[in-house]
Amino acid sequence: MPEIRVKIASSVGLHARPASVFVKAAAKHSGQVLIGRPGTEPVDARSMLSVLSLAIGHGEEVVLRTDGADADAALTELSRLLVTDLDA
């Protein structure tokens, strides 16, 4: 399962609007998409409640993992979202 580490750019972290944008994008991919802090159990990135429960703040590093036929494309798209201030 390919993975990438990125820092959250949104000024409010992965909360409310930024999380919604991210979750909707994750839901478009056919394979599994997971997100979590390094060294912790990741959660389903297609679940708004799961993503919000992480309470990830601005500047925190997360690990994003994907699998499936479009795993690399999913990593590219989703990591670009996370390094963009989605709350702007």
Active-site amino acid positions = 15
Buried b (16+ CB within 10 A) or exposed e, 76-85: eebbebbeee
CB atoms within 10 A of CB 42: 20
